[in-house]
């Protein structure tokens, strides 16, 4: 057995991989930044921030939120509670936490809301060959990144192989009967871990709530998952920064204008440990195929798509695949993918799919369609 030193960077709790204009860090100018004015500057702006799901959120509403900061805060809290009640693995009363404790192959009834979320996650998982897999929880725990706490020794090959026996999309099923939805495990040890999509789901929910209220301009950033619409406080397109993975949160690597679409980033460089003996780097992102943390040189993958639940599901799986395969998949499937890897000289280097180009241009683009997220 090898001993491992856990190196959780100071910001293990802060997984904000994306920064954005108006909230601290200034994105560097990108080429062709003309044509990004979409409104007059706003005299009134409502802003809140706080902590949720062990990470940070920032919400900005140019033009002001009806009811002001207090109403915005209570609307955000309503959404966080709804999402947490469904998918938390840390709150023992949450639906997923209770399902994980249900060590049985008998039917487990769930809300239709959670059923819709799981169906969408299954769909996204299949699109990328299950590289993002919601049943990966036991492996996450085995490697010391889950609710069961950190590890002192890396697991043995036997432990990895044994745990893999009950990891896989085919190890549980979702069934609907007479208006009720049920989850069924094929092995009583199966557990679900939807934490990688929690931030995206919450961002979508809050965006949907704001859309229903008729709010034309907003930026909702929940750690690395962002929904934005309309204009920023200066009346320009919102800009989101993809963080330079080598800068410890200090520098923006690329500025992106998502133009009403969702964007999220998965990164392997914030939460990891280094093996004492081998100097091997182990990330909190697990490759479900090997049962081991990814250990390649791709350190972040960002995706732009119609909903943050979708981007948040895809970015994790595409990070598992690594830059080349991720960007090839993006080109083949017309999905906007942006990957950063560290080259032999220790330099950060990007590759992106063709569909990502328009988001790097920061000029108003008319033809983007945004599908409504899950209700
Ligand atoms: P990041 O945005 O830095 O990727 P997230 O919190 O969104 O961080 O996702 C990482 C979490 O997702 C891990 O801590 C683990 O719980 C879970 N996870 C790790 N690997 C996978 C995977 N292959 N598929 C699904 N979930 C995963
Ligand atoms: Mg994610």
- Show the CA angle centred on residue 315, arms to residues 314 and 320, nearest 5°: 100
Nearest atom (ligand 1) to Cα of 271: 3
For the CA of 195, the nearest ligand: 1
Q: Nearest C-alpha to atom 6 of ligand 1 is from which residue? A: 196
285 lines ligand 1 (CB under 6 A): yes
Q: Nearest C-alpha to atom 5 of ligand 1 is from which residue? A: 196
145 lines ligand 1 (CB under 6 A): yes
**Structure tokens of 13?**
């709790």
Residue with tokens 């999509």: 197
pLDDT tens, residue by residue, 29-59: 333 335 788 888 999 999 999 999 888 999 9
Nearest atom (ligand 1) to Cα of 198: 7
For the CA of 17, the nearest ligand: 1
pLDDT tens, residue by residue, 156-201: 999 999 999 999 999 999 999 988 999 999 999 999 999 999 999 9
133 lines ligand 1 (CB under 6 A): yes
Q: How far is the CA of 301 from the centre of ligand 2 (A)?
A: 9
Q: How far is the CA of 315 from the centre of ligand 2 (A)?
A: 6
143 lines ligand 1 (CB under 6 A): no
- pLDDT value of position 366: 62
138 lines ligand 1 (CB under 6 A): no
Is residue 218 within 8 Å of residue 229, measured between CB atoms?
A: yes
Is residue 318 within 8 Å of residue 337, measured between CB atoms?
A: yes
Higher pLDDT pick, 346 / 8: 346
Q: How far is the CA of 255 from the centre of ligand 1 (A)?
A: 24
Q: Nearest C-alpha to atom 14 of ligand 1 is from which residue? A: 284
Is residue 84 within 8 Å of residue 91, measured between CB atoms?
A: yes
- pLDDT value of position 370: 53
Counting residues of the chain whose pLDDT is more than 70, the rounded percentage is 85
For the CA of 131, the nearest ligand: 1
Start-to-end CA span in the chain (Å): 47
For the CA of 136, the nearest ligand: 1
HEC string of the chain equals CCEEEEEECCCCCCCCCEEECCCCCCCCCCCCCCCCECCCCCCCEEEEEEEECCEEEEEEEECCCCCHHHHHHHHHHHHHHHHHHHHCCCCCCCHHHHHHHCCCCCCEEECHHHHHHHHHHHHHHHHCCCCCCCCCHHHHHHCCCCCCCCCCECCCHHHHHHHHCCCCHHHEEEEEECCEEEEEECCCCCCCCCHHHHHHHHHHHHHHHHHHCCCCCEEEEECCEEEEECECCCCEECCEEEECCCCCCCCEEEEECCCCCEEEEEECCCEEEEECCCCCEEECCEECCCCEECCCCEEEEEEEECCHHHHHHHHHHHHHHCHHHHHHHHHHHCCEEEEEEECCCCCEEEEECHHHHHHHHCCCCCCCCCCCCCC
Nearest atom (ligand 1) to Cα of 132: 24
Is residue 283 within 8 Å of residue 15, measured between CB atoms?
A: no
Nearest atom (ligand 1) to Cα of 287: 23
Q: Nearest C-alpha to atom 1 of ligand 1 is from which residue? A: 266
196 lines ligand 1 (CB under 6 A): yes
Architecture of domain 87-195: Orthogonal Bundle (1.10)
pLDDT tens, residue by residue, 273-282: 666 667 776 7
| Local confidence band at 295 (pLDDT 50, 70, 90 cut-offs) | confident
The residue extents of the domains of the chain are: 87-195
198 lines ligand 1 (CB under 6 A): no
Nearest atom (ligand 1) to Cα of 264: 2
pLDDT tens, residue by residue, 218-238: 999 998 899 999 999 999 999
């Amino acid at each position: 057995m090898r001993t491992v030193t856990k190196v959780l960077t100071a910001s293990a709790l802060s997984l904000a991989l994306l920064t954005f204009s108006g909230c601290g860090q200034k994105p560097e100018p990108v080429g062709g930044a003309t044509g990004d004015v979409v409104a007059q500057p706003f005299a009134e702006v409502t802003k809140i921030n706080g902590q949720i799901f062990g990470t940070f959120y920032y919400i900005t509403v140019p033009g002001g939120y009806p009811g002001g900061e207090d109403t915005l805060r209570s609307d955000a809290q309503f959404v966080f509670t709804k999402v947490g009640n469904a998918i938390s693995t840390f709150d023992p009363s949450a639906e997923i936490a209770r399902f994980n404790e249900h060590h049985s192959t008998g039917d487990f009834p769930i809300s239709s809301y959670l059923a819709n979320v799981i169906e969408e996650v299954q769909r996204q998982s299949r699109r990328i060959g299950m590289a993002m897999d919601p049943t990966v929880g036991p492996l996450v725990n085995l490697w010391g990144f889950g609710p069961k706490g950190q590890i002192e020794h890396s697991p043995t090959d036997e432990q990895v192989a044994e745990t893999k026996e009950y990891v896989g999309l085919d190890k549980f099923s979702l069934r609907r009967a007479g208006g009720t939805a049920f989850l069924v495990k094929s092995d009583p040890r199966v557990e679900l871990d939807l934490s990688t999509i929690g931030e995206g789901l919450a961002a979508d929910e809050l965006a949907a709530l704001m859309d229903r209220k008729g709010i034309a301009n907003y930026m909702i950033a929940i750690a690395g998952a962002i929904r934005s619409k309309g204009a920023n406080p200066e009346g320009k397109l919102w800009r989101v920064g993809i963080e330079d993975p080598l800068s410890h949160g200090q520098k923006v690597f690329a500025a992106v204008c998502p133009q009403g679409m969702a964007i999220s980033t998965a990164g392997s460089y914030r939460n990891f440990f280094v093996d004492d003996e081998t100097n091997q780097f182990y990330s909190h992102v697990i490759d479900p195929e090997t049962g081991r943390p990814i250990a390649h040189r791709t350190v972040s993958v960002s995706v732009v798509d119609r909903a943050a639940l979708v981007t948040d599901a895809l970015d994790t799986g595409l990070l598992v695949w690594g830059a080349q395969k991720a960007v090839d998949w993006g080109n083949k499937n017309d999905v906007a993918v942006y990957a950063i890897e560290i080259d032999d000289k220790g330099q950060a280097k990007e590759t992106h799919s063709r569909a990502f180009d328009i988001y790097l241009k920061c000029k108003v683009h008319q033809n983007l369609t945004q599908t409504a997220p899950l209700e």
